[in-house]
Chains A and B, each alone.
Chain A
């Protein structure tokens, strides 16, 4: 084009860039991006581990009578971190006895305001030692440090804070009723959120005035054992909380013990059913938080870039080892291509590797057994004809890792669409109308959680009413808050944790119209 400044005075001096400005700037630039982030490992020097751990009974660490020991392993390296005691029937008996004594001697008569004081102390001590807990959680369980640092430990502390507030207000929580404790509570927790699950179980039980026997998971006992230091530093009276580490047999002994008034279990549906059979007709109370196969439902009008983050957070958070993981993606057909292309692109930038590295998005699978199960189910997906996508990320040579995985062309009859995988594996199904979305979402024996993504408020409400799931997230996923009750329907269990509803399973209400 002719220079529009022809008639204008110009101050462009001799030699100044003339009309031919290079289109591209030639630049020799350094690489910067997710593939070239320098290692940023969190230090482990804060964590002190004993070679061998006993059981926490009556306020003391005592050797196990079973004299059985088991190693706990760092899933990212395969190295043994420590050995812990596998509690036998006799050990569980001792622990229940200690809990019973503490309950009858003083804890049931301890005023709520005093119980609150202990809970507040525990919460504050957890916060003070949060980095130590986060590093240990990552070492023992394989989850990325950013998750244990930003989610597990802060939420665990938040649960103690929240329930400390309830402890002296139980009579006001349920109008017209007098609330009292149940007695001794037996709690069995899983390995995916070791400390957080301990907090979810302990905080409401203690706030309600019960004493506890807690059985941590076989592969992740260390943060629960570190918690015993916090309990002692908080001056919690001996016997109020007892921690009996061990394997499935220890859990079975805890559940079956006649001295336990209430059982709370979080874990697999198969074990949950077994526990229910054990307790049937015994009059002892039970809550179960079991598996899930959550639908994450994307409507065409949703904020698709935030949807992409929500999908990633829904299924790859904690390597997908989350009972409420959004493992079934239901996308409206009109946007399926866009969503999948955005998702694939996002998956390519996920950083898989050393869980202790502060930039790691996806860490190690918790155990060799779990890795086998995930691999086997992924294999079945391929064989049944679903289309597999995995980013070409290099996995560490040692330890148990699995790349983020996406299956397209999944039909509702495929195993990967029906069975809980408990790994970083997403199955995509499509739908055309809201009714079809509801039908497909509910087409599962589970009913723990669901996600709805749309910019239309009325559709959120319409969908939420029809979801057979205990938790329904709208335009977000995997959000937890101590004030919000969490729990399932159908094969995902019953009973709620968190909020006012979460107190109920630990209380006896008298003179009430429940």
Chain B
């Protein structure tokens, strides 16, 4: 079941009538959803639908200049010695080690899983990553390799990365991935609906995905590089959280603009407001373009100083990356042993 936000506000669930029903009734419900959404649009106007959907959750405007300035100031925090060690360890522990290539094979996924468990073969002190993130087709392989370990299996699903397949197909893909052993599902927000002002549709699809994911944690990718403004990022964040997302995530990594510090800050501020108003802690995943250890601790600083150090936990913060781990290991090695190791020391 979708977690119902605690506190004084109740989540509008009128159109999410899946309950305990199996997958076969989704198409019927889709029609109901559309009808309900049309009704709402007629009543409130498409653009007026968002505040109503959010039941009074705050959608504070965002000032781009101020936001960028604050992110820039946080990026300048000087992280040295012990603090750097802590940051690097956290970066590993909160990492979703990702491979999302058309050319992914069983062998590639297996070697990634091995690396996820023991990224530094010579140093058992280096912890495992949080999860391995793959396409649904390869979930079984990863689940097999990671069974009984603390590393989770995450799968993208729901016609990733565009998210514009038929809703029924998207929901089936989600439930299939969960059935195959995925602990976490990364879907994309329907930007087509969101940007056209069909907020209820976007909302309902997230809620339906949450139902389909069942026990698995749902991460909703906003694809912020396509949203066009920080105001839209904030709105989309609120919408996804209100619809039941366990995590909101910046990007797919499949378009030019991926995670940036200001975007992460903007989403963290939305998460903070949501936690305050709805009483539920939602996680943040930054993904795409994070390649250096320094970048990773800049994000950690943004989280620590916006949401508090409590959020720096794999339950509430993730970094999605493929090549970041090696740089983090390099910096850890340098911190612990002095001097940089040979580049070929890291496991590919």
Contacts and interface: CB of A to CB of B under 8 A. Distances in A.
Give the size range of B's interface with the partner. Answer: 35 or more
A305 B312 contact: no
Nearest to B84: A38
B67 interface: yes
Nearest to B69: A309
Given A25-B313, A38-B83, A13 B147 contact: yes
B28 to A, nearest CB: 15
A468 B220 CA distance: 49
A319 interface: no
Contact of B67 (A3, A25, A34, A306): A306
B78 A358 contact: yes
B13 interface: no
A33 interface: yes
B178 interface: yes
A40 interface: yes
A6 B312 contact: no
A34 B181 contact: no
Interface stretch (A15-23, A71-79, A253-261): A15-23
B69 A303 contact: no
Contact of A32 (B90, B183, B216, B314): B90
Give the size range of A's interface with the partner. Answer: 35 or more
A475 B60 CA distance: 14
Contact of B180 (A10, A24, A307): A10
B207 to A, nearest CB: 14
A1 interface: yes
A304 interface: yes
Contacts of B60: 303-305
Interface in B47-84: 58, 60-63, 65-67, 69-70, 76-84
Given A29-B312, A38-B83, A455-B61, A21 B1 contact: no
Interface in A292-312: 301-307, 309-310
Nearest to B150: A25
A5 B304 contact: no
B320 to A, nearest CB: 16
B89 interface: yes
A30 interface: yes
Nearest to A338: B58
A270 interface: no
Interface in B20-39: 20, 22-23
B315 interface: yes
Nearest to B265: A305
B269 A305 contact: yes
A318 B134 CA distance: 49
A2 B212 CA distance: 11
B63 A38 contact: no
Contacts of A67: none
Contact of B147 (A1, A15, A27, A36): A15
Given A21-B215, A39-B80, A306-B70, A33 B144 contact: no
A343 to B, nearest CB: 13
A282 interface: no
A13 B143 contact: yes
A457 interface: no
A26 to B, nearest CB: 8
Interface string A48-86: 000000000000000000000000000000000000000
A277 interface: no
A21 B183 contact: yes
Contacts of B144: 11, 13, 16
B170 to A, nearest CB: 13
Contacts of B314: 25, 27
Contacts of A40: 78-80
A4 interface: yes
Contact of B181 (A12, A20, A29, A358): A12
A10 B179 contact: yes
Contacts of B269: 305
A29 B313 contact: yes
Contacts of B62: 303, 305-306
Contacts of A30: 85-86, 89-90
Contacts of B178: 4-5
B213 to A, nearest CB: 10
B175 to A, nearest CB: 4
Given A11-B139, A32-B83, A306 B90 contact: no
Contact of B78 (A11, A304, A359): A359
Contacts of B89: 29-30
Interface in B299-333: 300, 304-305, 308-309, 312-315
Contacts of A309: 66, 69-70
Contacts of B20: 1-2
Nearest to A312: B70
Contacts of A384: none
B22 A306 contact: no
A14 B65 CA distance: 53
A66 B53 CA distance: 77
Contacts of A29: 89-90, 93, 312-313
B304 A21 contact: no
Given A16-B143, A304-B60, A38 B181 contact: no
Interface of B: 1, 19-20, 22-23, 58, 60-63, 65-67, 69-70, 76-87, 89-90, 93, 130, 139-141, 143-144, 147-148, 150, 152-153, 175-176, 178-181, 183, 212, 214-216, 269, 300, 304-305, 308-309, 312-315
Given A4-B179, A150-B76, 5 more contacts: A1-B214, A3-B214, A11-B181, A25-B315, A475-B65
6 contacts: A6-B22, A26-B150, A34-B304, A302-B63, A309-B69, A476-B66
Interface of A: 1-6, 8, 10-17, 19-21, 24-27, 29-40, 146, 150, 301-307, 309-310, 338, 349, 357-359, 455, 475-476
